[in-house]
């Protein structure tokens, strides 16, 4: 399983290869926006085995996106033709439009 929020995607490294790339699609009020500039920002580890390594993936375009309470997200991990494309879906669970500070957007897996 992966973790998704409006600032980053956290993916277990065991779900990726060195050729993997991530694409995020957002459907919001019948408009689709694609973020294809995703890149690994850092890798963290919580232990000594590969299943405890996590890739933190960011998108500069997604960082500037204006979310709404109707946003639905699809995260796809492509790892080459010898691997199945992994697809994860999310929707907004909690949304609060904060006038002067950043909006609160909480996602849940579909």
The angle subtended at Cα 76 by Cα 97 and Cα 27, nearest 5°, is 35
pLDDT number for residue 32: 97
Model confidence at 58, pLDDT cuts 50, 70, 90, reads very high
* Both tokens assigned to 107: 């996602």
Model confidence at 103, pLDDT cuts 50, 70, 90, reads confident
């Amino acid at each position: 399983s992966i973790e998704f929020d409006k600032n980053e995607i956290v993916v277990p490294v065991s779900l990726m290869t060195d050729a993997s790339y991530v694409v995020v699609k957002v459907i919001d009020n019948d408009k689709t926006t694609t973020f294809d500039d995703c890149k690994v920002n850092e890798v963290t580890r919580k232990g000594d085995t590969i299943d405890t390594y996590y890739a933190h993936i960011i998108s500069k375009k997604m960082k500037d996106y204006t979310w709404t309470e109707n946003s639905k997200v699809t995260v796809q991990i492509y790892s080459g033709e010898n691997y199945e494309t992994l697809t994860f879906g999310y929707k907004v669970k909690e949304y609060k439009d904060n006038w002067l500070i950043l909006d609160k957007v909480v996602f849940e897996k579909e």
